[in-house]
Amino acid sequence: MSEQKSDRDTLISADENRAMFDRIAKNYDAANRAISMGMDRLWRRETIALLRPFRGGRYLDIGTGTGDLAFEILDQSANVLIDGIDPSGQMLEIARGKAAGRGVGDAVSFFPADALDLPMESETYDGIVSGFCFRNIECRQKALGEMLRVLKPGGMLVILEATRPENPLVRLGYNLYTPLVPIIGRILGGGSAYKYLVDSIGDFPQPGTVTDMFSAAGFSSVQFKPLTFGTVCIFSGKK
Ligand SMILES: C[S@@+](CC[C@H](N)C(=O)[O-])C[C@H]1O[C@@H](n2cnc3c(N)ncnc32)[C@H](O)[C@@H]1O
């Protein structure tokens, strides 16, 4: 897969991601809600439903940001342990604040790490989720290899990502809406980050290419599920 930084300028390092998300952390949740028109809650629910977390399971949320996917796992299953990792200290601070507000105790740990070099032993997790992060990772194929490594046999990987709709009519509406996204982002203090968001969705491979990458990494039962007219997709695979 020719996915090196030299080919695509929207593939940026964990350090560059950290700097960008540190800058926008404070207003990230508000911007997310506004730009997705509140749909992100539904997308997260669907994502974790596909993960099918079970009591006593151990889960990893990669690029956890402000922690909403990790909290959704807690909402859908009791007695789980979750690690949420992210290079952005500011995003993690907000996630920790939310965890304290929810009183989740030791069920979730948030700490800094890079998807390309996971600091965990092999076969640690029953499942891995990642929301709106895979698109940002500098070498996605390598990240998939790391995810496979830390999953237990039979474990599920579920990735939620923003995609370009394929239906021409929907694409028309999408093309009219996306120029507004950087404006909304700017109003909510996001600077150029939301222009990057639109550009990186434009550069992101079509769903069939993403599922090929899952298979190439060694995942089985690979599938994708488009939601909201294909403006987001949930990709899943089993170890
Ligand atoms: C758009 S936010 C998504 C946050 C959260 N998952 C959500 O659903 O709202 C993307 C997150 O991925 C993180 N990220 C970017 N590159 C990463 C990497 N290489 N490893 C781990 N996390 C990364 C960013 O710091 C950022 O917090």
Q: Which CATH architecture has domain 14-238?
A: 3-Layer(aba) Sandwich (3.40)
List pLDDT tens digits, range 19-51: 888 998 999 898 888 888 999 999 999 999 999
Say if residue 1's pLDDT is above 50: no
In angstroms, how far apart are the furthest CA atoms of the chain?
A: 47
| Per-residue pLDDT, 98 | 97
Residue range 217-227: mean pLDDT, rounded: 97
Query: Looking at ligand 1, which atom is closest to the CA of residue 160?
Result: 8
CA of 66 to the centre of ligand 1 (A): 9
Q: Is the CB of 48 under 6 A from ligand 1?
A: no
Q: Which atom of ligand 1 is nearest to the CA of 25?
A: 27
Question: pTM for the whole thing?
Answer: 0.93
Phi/psi of residue 101, nearest 5 degrees? -60, -35
pLDDT in tens, 159-174: 999 999 988 888 888 8
Kindly give the residue spans of alpha helices, DSSP state H, lying in the chain: 14-35, 40-51, 68-76, 89-102, 140-150, 168-177, 180-187, 193-203, 207-217
From the CB of 116, is ligand 1 less than 6 Å away? Answer: yes
Q: Is 133 in the pocket of ligand 1 (CB under 6 A)?
A: yes
- Residue whose CA lies nearest to ligand 1 atom number 22: 63
Distance of CA 189 to the CA centre of its chain: 21
Determine if ligand 1 sits within 6 Å of the CB of residue 237.
Answer: no
194 CB within 6 A, ligand 1:
no
Compute the residue count for the chain: 239
Q: Which of 12, 18, 20, 21 to mutate to test the pocket of ligand 1 (most atoms within 8 A of CB)?
A: 21
What residue ranges do the domains of the chain occupy?
14-238
Mean pLDDT, range 181-191, rounded to an integer: 78
Q: Is 132 in the pocket of ligand 1 (CB under 6 A)?
A: yes
Q: How far apart are CA 115 and CA 83, in angstroms?
A: 13
**Angle, alpha carbons 74-78-81 (nearest 5°):** 65
Distance CA(74)–CA(108), nearest Å, equals 9
d(CA 33, CA 37): 6
Work out the pLDDT band at 179, boundaries 50, 70, 90. Answer: confident
